[in-house]
Structure 1
Protein backbone atom coordinates (compact mmCIF):
# COMPACT_ATOMS: atom_id res chain seq x y z
CA UNK A 1 0.00 0.00 0.00
CA UNK A 2 2.78 2.36 0.89
CA UNK A 3 4.65 1.68 -2.29
CA UNK A 4 1.52 2.13 -4.37
CA UNK A 5 0.68 5.43 -2.71
CA UNK A 6 4.20 6.64 -3.31
CA UNK A 7 3.87 5.60 -6.91
CA UNK A 8 0.66 7.53 -7.29
CA UNK A 9 2.21 10.52 -5.63
CA UNK A 10 5.20 10.37 -7.92
CA UNK A 11 3.02 10.20 -11.01
CA UNK A 12 1.00 13.18 -9.81
CA UNK A 13 4.15 15.21 -9.26
CA UNK A 14 5.34 14.35 -12.75
CA UNK A 15 2.01 15.48 -14.13
CA UNK A 16 2.29 18.82 -12.30
CA UNK A 17 5.86 19.30 -13.48
CA UNK A 18 4.82 18.48 -17.02
CA UNK A 19 2.26 21.26 -16.98
CA UNK A 20 4.87 23.79 -15.91
CA UNK A 21 7.10 25.69 -18.33
CA UNK A 22 10.58 26.73 -17.26
CA UNK A 23 12.77 29.63 -18.39
CA UNK A 24 16.24 31.01 -17.74
CA UNK A 25 16.31 34.33 -15.87
CA UNK A 26 18.82 37.05 -16.88
CA UNK A 27 21.06 36.03 -13.96
CA UNK A 28 21.23 32.44 -15.25
CA UNK A 29 18.76 30.95 -12.72
CA UNK A 30 16.23 28.38 -13.99
CA UNK A 31 12.75 29.44 -12.83
CA UNK A 32 9.16 28.79 -13.74
CA UNK A 33 8.00 30.53 -16.91
CA UNK A 34 6.27 33.87 -16.58
CA UNK A 35 3.50 32.84 -18.97
CA UNK A 36 1.35 29.79 -18.43
CA UNK A 37 0.72 26.98 -20.90
CA UNK A 38 -2.40 26.43 -22.96
CA UNK A 39 -5.56 26.14 -20.92
CA UNK A 40 -3.85 27.33 -17.75
CA UNK A 41 -3.90 30.91 -16.51
CA UNK A 42 -0.35 32.28 -16.67
CA UNK A 43 1.42 33.17 -13.47
CA UNK A 44 2.29 36.47 -15.04
CA UNK A 45 -1.41 37.32 -15.44
CA UNK A 46 -2.05 36.52 -11.80
CA UNK A 47 0.37 39.26 -10.64
CA UNK A 48 -1.34 42.62 -10.16
CA UNK A 49 0.06 45.45 -12.29
CA UNK A 50 2.12 48.27 -10.90
CA UNK A 51 2.20 51.94 -11.79
CA UNK A 52 5.55 53.29 -12.95
CA UNK A 53 6.30 57.00 -13.18
CA UNK A 54 8.42 57.81 -16.21
CA UNK A 55 10.11 61.20 -16.48
CA UNK A 56 10.79 62.53 -19.97
CA UNK A 57 12.21 66.02 -19.98
CA UNK A 58 9.99 68.12 -17.78
CA UNK A 59 6.93 65.87 -18.21
CA UNK A 60 5.90 62.77 -16.26
CA UNK A 61 4.04 59.80 -17.70
CA UNK A 62 2.43 57.21 -15.46
CA UNK A 63 2.23 53.75 -16.96
CA UNK A 64 0.38 50.71 -15.63
CA UNK A 65 2.40 47.59 -16.41
CA UNK A 66 2.97 44.06 -15.17
CA UNK A 67 6.01 43.94 -12.86
CA UNK A 68 7.29 40.86 -14.69
CA UNK A 69 7.35 42.69 -18.00
CA UNK A 70 10.62 43.75 -19.59
CA UNK A 71 11.99 47.23 -20.12
CA UNK A 72 11.52 46.67 -23.85
CA UNK A 73 7.78 46.29 -23.32
CA UNK A 74 7.79 49.45 -21.24
CA UNK A 75 9.53 51.29 -24.10
CA UNK A 76 6.80 50.22 -26.53
CA UNK A 77 4.15 51.51 -24.14
CA UNK A 78 5.97 54.86 -24.01
CA UNK A 79 6.05 55.34 -27.78
CA UNK A 80 2.70 57.14 -27.97
CA UNK A 81 3.04 59.51 -24.97
CA UNK A 82 6.69 60.37 -25.68
CA UNK A 83 6.60 60.37 -29.48
CA UNK A 84 9.85 58.36 -29.61
CA UNK A 85 10.34 55.05 -31.35
CA UNK A 86 11.18 52.25 -28.94
CA UNK A 87 14.59 51.85 -30.61
CA UNK A 88 15.34 55.54 -29.90
CA UNK A 89 14.67 55.29 -26.16
CA UNK A 90 16.96 54.86 -23.16
CA UNK A 91 15.42 53.88 -19.81
CA UNK A 92 17.48 54.75 -16.74
CA UNK A 93 16.61 53.31 -13.35
CA UNK A 94 18.71 53.98 -10.26
CA UNK A 95 21.26 55.86 -12.40
CA UNK A 96 21.84 52.87 -14.67
CA UNK A 97 20.69 52.32 -18.22
CA UNK A 98 18.56 49.20 -18.42
CA UNK A 99 18.61 46.72 -21.28
CA UNK A 100 15.40 46.08 -23.19
CA UNK A 101 15.65 42.38 -22.27
CA UNK A 102 15.89 43.00 -18.53
CA UNK A 103 12.77 42.44 -16.43
CA UNK A 104 11.32 45.14 -14.21
CA UNK A 105 11.07 43.04 -11.06
CA UNK A 106 14.60 41.74 -11.49
CA UNK A 107 15.87 45.34 -11.63
CA UNK A 108 13.87 46.14 -8.48
CA UNK A 109 11.13 48.23 -10.08
CA UNK A 110 8.09 48.39 -7.79
CA UNK A 111 4.83 50.25 -7.58
CA UNK A 112 5.32 54.05 -7.87
CA UNK A 113 8.97 53.61 -8.88
CA UNK A 114 10.52 56.38 -10.97
CA UNK A 115 12.20 55.69 -14.33
CA UNK A 116 13.86 58.29 -16.52
CA UNK A 117 13.42 58.28 -20.27
CA UNK A 118 16.19 59.74 -22.45
CA UNK A 119 16.36 60.02 -26.21
CA UNK A 120 19.10 57.88 -27.77
CA UNK A 121 20.56 60.25 -30.36
CA UNK A 122 22.95 57.68 -31.85
CA UNK A 123 20.14 55.16 -32.31
CA UNK A 124 17.94 57.84 -33.84
CA UNK A 125 20.63 58.80 -36.38
CA UNK A 126 21.33 55.16 -37.17
CA UNK A 127 17.63 54.44 -37.63
CA UNK A 128 17.23 57.54 -39.83
CA UNK A 129 20.13 56.37 -41.98
CA UNK A 130 18.59 52.92 -42.29
CA UNK A 131 15.25 54.43 -43.27
CA UNK A 132 16.95 56.65 -45.85
CA UNK A 133 18.86 53.68 -47.29
CA UNK A 134 15.67 51.64 -47.46
CA UNK A 135 13.84 54.50 -49.19
CA UNK A 136 16.64 54.85 -51.74
CA UNK A 137 16.62 51.14 -52.47
CA UNK A 138 12.85 51.16 -52.95
CA UNK A 139 13.07 54.21 -55.23
CA UNK A 140 15.91 52.62 -57.23
CA UNK A 141 13.97 49.38 -57.56
CA UNK A 142 10.94 51.27 -58.84
CA UNK A 143 13.05 53.24 -61.34
CA UNK A 144 14.78 50.09 -62.60
CA UNK A 145 11.44 48.38 -63.08
CA UNK A 146 10.10 51.34 -65.08
CA UNK A 147 13.26 51.53 -67.20
CA UNK A 148 13.18 47.79 -67.86
CA UNK A 149 9.59 48.00 -69.07
CA UNK A 150 10.41 50.95 -71.33
CA UNK A 151 13.53 49.29 -72.76
CA UNK A 152 11.51 46.19 -73.59
CA UNK A 153 9.06 48.27 -75.64
CA UNK A 154 11.86 50.16 -77.41
CA UNK A 155 13.63 46.88 -78.12
CA UNK A 156 10.57 45.62 -79.97
CA UNK A 157 10.52 48.78 -82.10
CA UNK A 158 14.22 48.44 -82.93
CA UNK A 159 13.79 44.79 -83.90
CA UNK A 160 10.83 45.69 -86.12
CA UNK A 161 12.84 48.39 -87.90
CA UNK A 162 15.80 46.05 -88.35
CA UNK A 163 13.61 43.33 -89.83
CA UNK A 164 12.10 45.88 -92.21
CA UNK A 165 15.56 46.99 -93.33
CA UNK A 166 16.73 43.40 -93.82
CA UNK A 167 13.76 42.78 -96.11
CA UNK A 168 14.72 45.78 -98.25
CA UNK A 169 12.15 48.19 -96.90
CA UNK A 170 12.79 51.87 -96.29
CA UNK A 171 13.53 53.02 -92.74
CA UNK A 172 12.89 56.63 -91.80
CA UNK A 173 16.03 58.29 -90.53
CA UNK A 174 13.88 60.57 -88.38
CA UNK A 175 12.43 57.60 -86.50
CA UNK A 176 15.90 56.13 -86.01
CA UNK A 177 17.16 59.42 -84.57
CA UNK A 178 14.19 59.70 -82.22
CA UNK A 179 14.71 56.20 -80.85
CA UNK A 180 18.43 56.84 -80.46
CA UNK A 181 17.75 60.03 -78.48
CA UNK A 182 15.32 58.21 -76.14
CA UNK A 183 17.81 55.38 -75.54
CA UNK A 184 20.64 57.82 -74.84
CA UNK A 185 18.44 59.61 -72.27
CA UNK A 186 17.81 56.28 -70.55
CA UNK A 187 21.53 55.53 -70.59
CA UNK A 188 22.32 58.86 -68.89
CA UNK A 189 19.67 58.17 -66.25
CA UNK A 190 21.14 54.72 -65.53
CA UNK A 191 24.64 56.17 -65.31
CA UNK A 192 23.50 58.65 -62.64
CA UNK A 193 22.00 55.99 -60.35
CA UNK A 194 24.24 55.13 -57.36
CA UNK A 195 23.18 51.70 -56.10
CA UNK A 196 24.82 48.47 -55.04
CA UNK A 197 24.23 44.77 -54.61
CA UNK A 198 21.74 42.98 -56.83
CA UNK A 199 20.36 46.29 -58.09
CA UNK A 200 23.78 47.21 -59.50
CA UNK A 201 23.88 43.96 -61.48
CA UNK A 202 20.44 44.73 -62.90
CA UNK A 203 21.56 48.26 -63.75
CA UNK A 204 24.66 46.99 -65.61
CA UNK A 205 22.51 44.52 -67.52
CA UNK A 206 20.13 47.26 -68.64
CA UNK A 207 23.02 49.53 -69.67
CA UNK A 208 24.45 46.75 -71.83
CA UNK A 209 21.05 46.18 -73.45
CA UNK A 210 20.59 49.90 -74.23
CA UNK A 211 24.08 50.16 -75.79
CA UNK A 212 23.33 47.18 -78.02
CA UNK A 213 20.12 48.83 -79.22
CA UNK A 214 21.96 52.10 -79.96
CA UNK A 215 24.58 50.20 -81.98
CA UNK A 216 21.83 48.48 -83.96
CA UNK A 217 20.24 51.84 -84.77
CA UNK A 218 23.60 53.26 -85.84
CA UNK A 219 23.97 50.42 -88.34
CA UNK A 220 20.51 51.13 -89.72
CA UNK A 221 21.56 54.73 -90.45
CA UNK A 222 24.46 53.60 -92.64
CA UNK A 223 22.98 51.50 -95.50
CA UNK A 224 25.05 50.55 -98.57
CA UNK A 225 23.36 52.88 -101.15
CA UNK A 226 20.92 55.23 -99.44
CA UNK A 227 18.63 57.22 -101.78
CA UNK A 228 19.00 60.99 -101.78
CA UNK A 229 15.59 62.25 -100.68
CA UNK A 230 14.17 64.43 -97.96
CA UNK A 231 13.78 61.70 -95.35
CA UNK A 232 17.11 59.97 -95.82
CA UNK A 233 20.57 61.36 -95.53
CA UNK A 234 22.37 61.79 -98.84
CA UNK A 235 25.39 59.67 -99.60
CA UNK A 236 28.55 61.42 -98.52
CA UNK A 237 31.45 61.43 -100.95
CA UNK A 238 35.07 61.65 -99.83
CA UNK A 239 36.48 63.31 -103.03
CA UNK A 240 36.10 67.06 -103.68
CA UNK A 241 35.76 68.78 -107.07
CA UNK A 242 38.58 71.09 -108.09
CA UNK A 243 37.63 74.68 -107.51
CA UNK A 244 37.54 76.91 -110.58
CA UNK A 245 39.68 80.04 -110.08
CA UNK A 246 37.70 83.24 -109.83
CA UNK A 247 38.91 86.75 -110.48
CA UNK A 248 39.26 88.54 -107.14
CA UNK A 249 38.33 91.94 -108.56
CA UNK A 250 35.28 90.70 -110.37
CA UNK A 251 33.83 87.55 -108.80
CA UNK A 252 31.37 87.09 -111.64
CA UNK A 253 34.21 86.41 -114.09
CA UNK A 254 35.85 83.03 -114.14
CA UNK A 255 39.59 82.93 -114.80
CA UNK A 256 40.25 80.55 -117.72
CA UNK A 257 43.06 77.99 -117.63
CA UNK A 258 46.58 79.03 -118.89
CA UNK A 259 46.17 77.46 -122.38
CA UNK A 260 42.89 79.31 -122.98
CA UNK A 261 44.45 82.58 -121.82
CA UNK A 262 47.34 82.10 -124.30
CA UNK A 263 44.94 81.45 -127.18
CA UNK A 264 42.92 84.52 -126.31
CA UNK A 265 46.06 86.70 -126.28
CA UNK A 266 47.07 85.35 -129.73
CA UNK A 267 43.68 86.22 -131.14
CA UNK A 268 43.80 89.72 -129.73
CA UNK A 269 47.37 90.36 -131.15
CA UNK A 270 47.67 88.73 -134.58
CA UNK A 271 51.24 90.09 -135.12
CA UNK A 272 52.61 88.46 -132.00
CA UNK A 273 54.38 85.15 -132.45
CA UNK A 274 54.22 82.67 -129.67
CA UNK A 275 56.74 79.88 -129.46
CA UNK A 276 57.63 77.35 -126.88
CA UNK A 277 61.20 76.76 -128.13
CA UNK A 278 63.95 78.55 -126.28
CA UNK A 279 67.52 79.19 -127.47
CA UNK A 280 70.48 78.74 -125.23
CA UNK A 281 73.26 81.34 -125.30
CA UNK A 282 76.76 80.49 -124.17
Structure 2
Protein backbone atom coordinates (compact mmCIF):
# COMPACT_ATOMS: atom_id res chain seq x y z
CA UNK A 1 0.00 0.00 0.00
CA UNK A 2 1.52 3.32 -1.08
CA UNK A 3 1.23 6.45 1.09
CA UNK A 4 2.15 10.05 0.24
CA UNK A 5 3.60 12.45 2.75
CA UNK A 6 5.04 15.94 2.67
CA UNK A 7 8.71 16.59 3.29
CA UNK A 8 10.39 19.70 4.54
CA UNK A 9 10.40 21.30 1.11
CA UNK A 10 6.68 21.05 0.62
CA UNK A 11 7.10 18.28 -1.86
CA UNK A 12 5.30 15.19 -1.72
CA UNK A 13 7.34 12.04 -1.48
CA UNK A 14 6.24 8.45 -1.82
CA UNK A 15 7.00 5.98 0.79
CA UNK A 16 6.21 2.33 0.74
CA UNK A 17 5.36 0.08 3.52
CA UNK A 18 6.08 -3.56 3.09
CA UNK A 19 3.87 -6.03 4.78
CA UNK A 20 5.77 -9.16 5.72
CA UNK A 21 3.93 -12.40 5.71
CA UNK A 22 5.24 -15.34 7.67
CA UNK A 23 6.15 -18.38 5.48
CA UNK A 24 4.97 -21.75 6.67
CA UNK A 25 7.66 -23.45 8.71
CA UNK A 26 8.95 -26.64 7.14
CA UNK A 27 9.89 -29.13 9.82
CA UNK A 28 13.30 -30.50 9.06
CA UNK A 29 13.62 -34.24 9.11
CA UNK A 30 15.98 -35.48 11.76
CA UNK A 31 19.07 -37.07 10.26
CA UNK A 32 21.13 -39.64 12.12
CA UNK A 33 24.84 -39.83 11.49
CA UNK A 34 27.37 -42.59 11.98
CA UNK A 35 31.13 -42.97 11.68
CA UNK A 36 32.39 -45.16 8.86
CA UNK A 37 35.79 -46.84 8.62
CA UNK A 38 38.44 -44.28 7.92
CA UNK A 39 36.79 -41.59 10.09
CA UNK A 40 34.20 -40.49 7.51
CA UNK A 41 30.93 -39.19 9.00
CA UNK A 42 27.98 -40.21 6.83
CA UNK A 43 24.24 -40.46 7.13
CA UNK A 44 23.26 -43.62 8.98
CA UNK A 45 21.89 -46.36 6.80
CA UNK A 46 18.23 -47.09 7.32
CA UNK A 47 17.33 -50.44 8.78
CA UNK A 48 14.29 -50.56 6.54
CA UNK A 49 15.36 -52.06 3.24
CA UNK A 50 12.37 -50.48 1.46
CA UNK A 51 13.74 -47.01 2.25
CA UNK A 52 17.00 -47.70 0.41
CA UNK A 53 17.51 -47.82 -3.34
CA UNK A 54 18.73 -51.14 -4.64
CA UNK A 55 22.53 -51.12 -4.65
CA UNK A 56 24.19 -52.56 -7.76
CA UNK A 57 26.21 -55.75 -7.73
CA UNK A 58 29.94 -55.65 -8.37
CA UNK A 59 32.29 -58.33 -9.64
CA UNK A 60 35.34 -58.87 -7.49
CA UNK A 61 38.55 -60.63 -8.45
CA UNK A 62 40.03 -62.58 -5.56
CA UNK A 63 43.59 -63.91 -5.51
CA UNK A 64 44.30 -66.78 -3.13
CA UNK A 65 47.85 -67.93 -3.63
CA UNK A 66 48.10 -69.30 -7.17
CA UNK A 67 44.30 -69.57 -7.41
CA UNK A 68 42.01 -66.92 -8.85
CA UNK A 69 38.30 -66.49 -8.17
CA UNK A 70 35.66 -64.09 -9.41
CA UNK A 71 32.59 -63.49 -7.29
CA UNK A 72 29.55 -61.22 -7.54
CA UNK A 73 28.34 -59.37 -4.48
CA UNK A 74 26.22 -56.35 -3.61
CA UNK A 75 28.26 -53.16 -3.50
CA UNK A 76 26.80 -52.28 -0.08
CA UNK A 77 27.78 -55.65 1.42
CA UNK A 78 30.42 -56.05 4.10
CA UNK A 79 33.72 -57.87 3.92
CA UNK A 80 32.25 -60.38 6.36
CA UNK A 81 29.65 -61.29 3.74
CA UNK A 82 32.40 -61.61 1.14
CA UNK A 83 34.17 -64.11 3.39
CA UNK A 84 31.01 -66.22 3.59
CA UNK A 85 30.88 -66.37 -0.20
CA UNK A 86 34.56 -67.30 -0.36
CA UNK A 87 33.97 -70.15 2.07
CA UNK A 88 32.04 -72.01 -0.64
CA UNK A 89 34.85 -71.36 -3.13
CA UNK A 90 37.92 -72.07 -1.02
CA UNK A 91 36.70 -74.26 1.83
CA UNK A 92 38.15 -71.82 4.36
CA UNK A 93 35.87 -70.79 7.20
CA UNK A 94 35.32 -67.03 7.65
CA UNK A 95 37.42 -66.96 10.82
CA UNK A 96 40.28 -68.54 8.86
CA UNK A 97 40.31 -65.79 6.22
CA UNK A 98 42.15 -62.50 6.03
CA UNK A 99 41.00 -60.24 3.18
CA UNK A 100 43.31 -57.48 1.93
CA UNK A 101 42.27 -54.51 -0.18
CA UNK A 102 44.66 -51.78 -1.26
CA UNK A 103 47.34 -53.17 1.03
CA UNK A 104 45.19 -53.14 4.17
CA UNK A 105 43.37 -55.92 5.95
CA UNK A 106 39.66 -55.22 6.08
CA UNK A 107 37.50 -56.09 9.06
CA UNK A 108 34.23 -58.01 8.80
CA UNK A 109 32.13 -54.91 9.54
CA UNK A 110 33.71 -52.73 6.86
CA UNK A 111 31.44 -51.92 3.89
CA UNK A 112 32.73 -52.46 0.36
CA UNK A 113 31.52 -49.16 -1.08
CA UNK A 114 32.78 -47.15 1.87
CA UNK A 115 36.25 -48.65 1.42
CA UNK A 116 36.31 -47.75 -2.28
CA UNK A 117 35.60 -51.20 -3.68
CA UNK A 118 34.25 -50.96 -7.21
CA UNK A 119 33.42 -53.30 -10.05
CA UNK A 120 36.42 -55.48 -11.04
CA UNK A 121 38.32 -54.51 -7.89
CA UNK A 122 40.97 -56.98 -6.75
CA UNK A 123 41.05 -58.54 -3.30
CA UNK A 124 43.78 -60.70 -1.82
CA UNK A 125 42.79 -63.63 0.38
CA UNK A 126 45.27 -65.00 2.92
CA UNK A 127 44.74 -67.90 5.27
CA UNK A 128 45.18 -66.90 8.87
CA UNK A 129 48.47 -68.45 10.09
CA UNK A 130 46.93 -69.33 13.44
CA UNK A 131 44.16 -71.22 11.65
CA UNK A 132 46.76 -73.27 9.80
CA UNK A 133 48.16 -74.43 13.12
CA UNK A 134 44.68 -75.14 14.46
CA UNK A 135 43.80 -77.13 11.35
CA UNK A 136 47.02 -79.14 11.62
CA UNK A 137 46.27 -79.95 15.24
CA UNK A 138 42.71 -80.93 14.28
CA UNK A 139 44.01 -83.20 11.51
CA UNK A 140 46.37 -84.92 13.92
CA UNK A 141 43.55 -85.36 16.42
CA UNK A 142 41.25 -86.85 13.77
CA UNK A 143 44.00 -89.20 12.59
CA UNK A 144 44.55 -90.33 16.16
CA UNK A 145 40.83 -91.02 16.58
CA UNK A 146 40.71 -92.99 13.33
CA UNK A 147 43.71 -95.07 14.38
CA UNK A 148 41.98 -95.81 17.69
CA UNK A 149 38.82 -96.93 15.89
CA UNK A 150 40.81 -99.25 13.62
CA UNK A 151 42.72 -100.78 16.53
CA UNK A 152 39.52 -101.33 18.53
CA UNK A 153 37.86 -102.88 15.47
CA UNK A 154 40.76 -105.34 15.08
CA UNK A 155 40.45 -106.36 18.73
CA UNK A 156 36.68 -106.74 18.32
CA UNK A 157 37.13 -109.17 15.44
CA UNK A 158 39.54 -111.29 17.47
CA UNK A 159 37.23 -111.27 20.47
CA UNK A 160 34.37 -112.47 18.25
CA UNK A 161 36.40 -115.54 17.32
CA UNK A 162 37.31 -116.25 20.94
CA UNK A 163 33.69 -115.85 22.03
CA UNK A 164 32.73 -118.61 19.59
CA UNK A 165 35.33 -120.89 21.13
CA UNK A 166 34.03 -120.15 24.63
CA UNK A 167 30.51 -121.04 23.49
CA UNK A 168 31.78 -124.34 22.01
CA UNK A 169 33.52 -125.29 25.27
CA UNK A 170 30.44 -124.37 27.29
CA UNK A 171 28.28 -126.57 25.06
CA UNK A 172 30.63 -129.53 25.38
CA UNK A 173 30.79 -129.34 29.16
CA UNK A 174 27.01 -128.96 29.44
CA UNK A 175 26.67 -132.16 27.41
CA UNK A 176 28.93 -133.99 29.85
CA UNK A 177 31.96 -134.04 27.58
CA UNK A 178 35.18 -133.28 29.41
CA UNK A 179 37.39 -130.72 27.70
CA UNK A 180 41.20 -130.78 28.00
CA UNK A 181 42.16 -128.23 30.65
CA UNK A 182 44.96 -126.86 28.49
CA UNK A 183 42.35 -125.77 25.94
CA UNK A 184 40.59 -123.60 28.54
CA UNK A 185 43.87 -122.18 29.86
CA UNK A 186 45.09 -121.29 26.38
CA UNK A 187 41.83 -119.55 25.58
CA UNK A 188 42.09 -117.45 28.76
CA UNK A 189 45.62 -116.38 27.79
CA UNK A 190 44.45 -115.34 24.32
CA UNK A 191 41.70 -113.23 25.84
CA UNK A 192 44.14 -111.54 28.21
CA UNK A 193 46.33 -110.59 25.24
CA UNK A 194 43.39 -108.77 23.70
CA UNK A 195 42.80 -107.00 27.02
CA UNK A 196 46.42 -105.78 26.96
CA UNK A 197 45.96 -104.47 23.42
CA UNK A 198 42.93 -102.52 24.54
CA UNK A 199 44.83 -100.98 27.44
CA UNK A 200 47.49 -99.71 25.00
CA UNK A 201 44.94 -97.94 22.78
CA UNK A 202 44.64 -94.21 23.46
CA UNK A 203 41.02 -93.26 22.81
CA UNK A 204 38.59 -90.49 23.65
CA UNK A 205 34.93 -89.73 23.06
CA UNK A 206 33.01 -92.40 21.17
CA UNK A 207 36.20 -94.39 20.61
CA UNK A 208 36.69 -94.59 24.36
CA UNK A 209 33.14 -95.94 24.76
CA UNK A 210 33.86 -98.63 22.16
CA UNK A 211 37.08 -99.51 23.93
CA UNK A 212 35.28 -99.96 27.25
CA UNK A 213 32.63 -102.12 25.58
CA UNK A 214 35.21 -104.51 24.19
CA UNK A 215 36.99 -104.59 27.54
CA UNK A 216 33.78 -105.73 29.22
CA UNK A 217 33.34 -108.47 26.62
CA UNK A 218 36.82 -109.80 27.30
CA UNK A 219 36.26 -109.70 31.06
CA UNK A 220 32.96 -111.56 30.72
CA UNK A 221 34.57 -114.30 28.64
CA UNK A 222 37.39 -114.77 31.13
CA UNK A 223 34.92 -115.02 34.00
CA UNK A 224 32.87 -117.58 32.07
CA UNK A 225 35.96 -119.68 31.41
CA UNK A 226 36.88 -119.65 35.10
CA UNK A 227 33.44 -121.08 35.90
CA UNK A 228 33.68 -123.61 33.07
CA UNK A 229 37.09 -124.68 34.29
CA UNK A 230 35.59 -125.68 37.66
CA UNK A 231 32.65 -127.42 36.01
CA UNK A 232 34.96 -129.24 33.62
CA UNK A 233 36.93 -130.68 36.54
CA UNK A 234 33.76 -132.33 37.85
CA UNK A 235 32.97 -134.04 34.57
CA UNK A 236 33.92 -137.71 34.66
CA UNK A 237 35.59 -138.87 31.53
CA UNK A 238 33.72 -141.48 29.58
CA UNK A 239 35.78 -144.64 29.12
CA UNK A 240 34.83 -146.56 26.05
CA UNK A 241 35.88 -150.21 25.92
CA UNK A 242 35.35 -152.62 23.10
CA UNK A 243 34.06 -156.07 24.05
CA UNK A 244 34.36 -158.69 21.46
CA UNK A 245 31.60 -161.26 21.21
CA UNK A 246 32.91 -164.86 21.11
CA UNK A 247 31.20 -167.67 19.39
CA UNK A 248 31.50 -171.44 20.18
CA UNK A 249 33.16 -173.47 17.47
CA UNK A 250 30.73 -175.17 15.15
CA UNK A 251 29.94 -178.80 16.07
CA UNK A 252 31.83 -181.44 14.24
CA UNK A 253 30.26 -182.93 11.22
CA UNK A 254 27.98 -185.87 12.04
CA UNK A 255 29.23 -189.33 11.21
CA UNK A 256 26.95 -191.23 8.92
CA UNK A 257 26.24 -194.89 9.69
CA UNK A 258 26.28 -197.21 6.76
CA UNK A 259 23.99 -200.24 6.57
CA UNK A 260 24.54 -203.21 4.46
TM-score band, normalised by shorter chain: 0.5 to 0.7
Within 5 A, what are the aligned runs for 1:137-176? 137-176=145-184
1:196 is paired with a residue of what secondary structure? coil
2:86 counterpart (75, 80, 94):
75
- Measured in 2, the distance between the counterparts of 1:101 and 1:169 equals 81
- Measured in 1, the distance between the counterparts of 2:87 and 2:221 equals 54
* Structure with more contact order per residue of length (Cα contacts < 8 Å, sep ≥ 6): 2
> TM-score, length-normalised on structure 2?
0.53
Please tell me whether residue 30 in structure 1 is matched to residue 43 in structure 2: no
- Measured in 1, the distance between the counterparts of 2:49 and 2:74 equals 16
Within 5 A, what are the aligned runs for 1:100-111? 104-105=112-113, 107-111=115-119
1:52 counterpart (55, 61, 74):
61
- The structure-2 alpha-carbon separation of the partners of 1:154 and 1:29, relative to structure 1 and needing over 3 Å to count, comes to farther
Q: CA deviation at 1:31?
A: 4.2
- The structure-2 alpha-carbon separation of the partners of 1:199 and 1:77, relative to structure 1 and needing over 3 Å to count, comes to closer
- Measured in 2, the distance between the counterparts of 1:204 and 1:161 equals 25
2:17 aligns to what? none
> TM-score, length-normalised on structure 1?
0.50
Q: CA deviation at 1:206?
A: 2.0
Please tell me whether residue 128 in structure 1 is matched to residue 136 in structure 2: yes
Q: CA deviation at 1:126?
A: 0.9
Deviations 1:132-187 (A, max 9, x none): 32333344334434544543443243133123224431213443344334322221
Alignment size in residue pairs: 188
Q: Which runs of 5+ in 2 are unaligned?
A: 1-43, 238-260
2:124 counterpart (86, 104, 116):
116
Q: Which runs of 5+ in 1 are unaligned?
A: 1-26, 34-42, 230-282
Higher helix share: 1
Higher strand share: 2
Larger Rg: 2
CA contact (8 A) 1:50 1:112 kept: yes
CA-based RMSD: 4.2
